[in-house]
Amino acid sequence: MAGIITITTDFGLSDGYVAAMKGAILDINPEVNVVDICHNIKPQNISQAAFVLSTAYLFFPKKTIHLVVVDPGVGTERQAIILRTPLADFVAPDNGVLSYVIEHFTGQPVTDDSDVRQTKVRPEVEAVVLTEPRFWRTPVSPTFHGRDIFAPVAAFLSLGFPPINFGKAITSVTMLPLPRPHQALDGSVLGHVLHIDGFGNLITDIRGDDLPETAGPLNIEIGRHAISGLSRTYAEGKGLLALIGSSGYLEISLKGGSAHAFLEVEVGGEIRVKKVPGRSQE
């Protein structure tokens, strides 16, 4: 039975971990299409995995199964879940790695001054905790649930088994505090770097509709540098550029280089966007 299973992990590609997961999937459903989203998530960085997943899953066909294994709590009492949404299924640890997905379907953002919390799922979303070992590989390694629990469950799910067969229904799931831009007293928008992509572009938590609405051209300040105005593409202008990237977030880029290396700004670094009064935007 064909279908699509995507995989996102922090395993990297220098070991056999990802291949072992794919083998466990294909052993159960040899016809399924396995697609890699990312395996270069920083080790145990749940929030980065949540963001990277959020930039990709909406572009897959409906009923795609997204398998996410960034799991610093492997072997502990943390729950493993299936989340069935109107668009796709997700198989992951219940540690907040599905926070952007949950937000999309609940409309309940968790701000950056909140604690990790349990959020109720809406009726159109089905959440199931994995408790049925008949769907797991045996013996189960306490350090590799990705291979022995998550991958087999995703594979059986791709064969048409309903989520409830894998365990018991739950009504709430874990959400992380997600970074949010906010408006300062001077009207500027303060945000933070969410992610650094493979090109060294700094992707922030500021969306296009978060930008200031007062008259005047934009001025973007990050580190000790300022950028005047937004570019439309990575090829425009010289040096540092600011633009709204394909994910819908404000990005900082360096033409022909790495903005990350040049600015020495890491994830969490602050960015300020304001309009300069008295001039018209060109």
What pLDDT does 280 receive?
47
Domains of the chain: 4-175 (3.40.50.10790), 182-275 (2.40.30.90)
Closest CA to 28 of 159, 207, 204: 159
What pLDDT does 107 receive?
62
Distance from CA of residue 74 to its chain's centroid? 19
Tell me the pairing of strands 225-228 and 218-222.
Answer: antiparallel
What pLDDT does 183 receive?
86
**Residues 6 or more apart whose Cβ sits within 8 Å of residue 217:** 228, 229, 275, 276, 279, 280, 281, 282
Per-residue tokens: 151: 């991958």
What pLDDT does 1 receive?
65
Residue 65 CA to residue 273 CA, distance in Å, equals 37
What pLDDT does 63 receive?
96
Reduce the DSSP state of residue 282 to 3 states and report it: coil
Give burial (CB, 10 Å; 0-12/13-18/19+) of 219: middle
What pLDDT does 186 receive?
83
Reduce the DSSP state of residue 164 to 3 states and report it: helix
Contact present, 127 and 76 (Cβ < 8 Å): no
Reduce the DSSP state of residue 196 to 3 states and report it: strand
What pLDDT does 281 receive?
43
What pLDDT does 110 receive?
53
Evaluated on CA atoms 9, 13, 14, 15, the torsion sign reads positive
Per-residue tokens: 24: 């466990």
Residue 33 CA to residue 207 CA, distance in Å, equals 33
Instruction: List per-residue pLDDT tens for the chain, 282 residues long.
Output: 679 999 999 999 999 999 999 999 999 999 999 999 999 999 999 999 999 999 999 999 999 999 999 999 888 888 999 999 999 999 999 999 999 999 888 765 555 455 667 888 888 999 999 999 999 999 999 999 999 999 999 999 999 999 999 999 999 999 988 888 988 888 889 999 999 999 999 999 999 888 876 556 889 999 899 999 899 999 887 899 999 999 899 999 999 999 999 999 999 899 999 887 655 444
**Token pair 């010289």 in the structure block, residue:** 238
C-alpha distances in angstroms, 103 versus 3, 9, 147, 250? Answer: 26, 21, 28, 20
Contact present, 265 and 222 (Cβ < 8 Å): yes
What pLDDT does 282 receive?
44
- Cis upstream peptide for 139 (omega within 30°): yes
Contact present, 182 and 207 (Cβ < 8 Å): no
Reduce the DSSP state of residue 203 to 3 states and report it: strand
Rounded CA Rg of the chain: 21
Closest CA to 174 of 107, 103, 124: 103
Contact present, 175 and 100 (Cβ < 8 Å): no
Which amino acid is it at 82? I
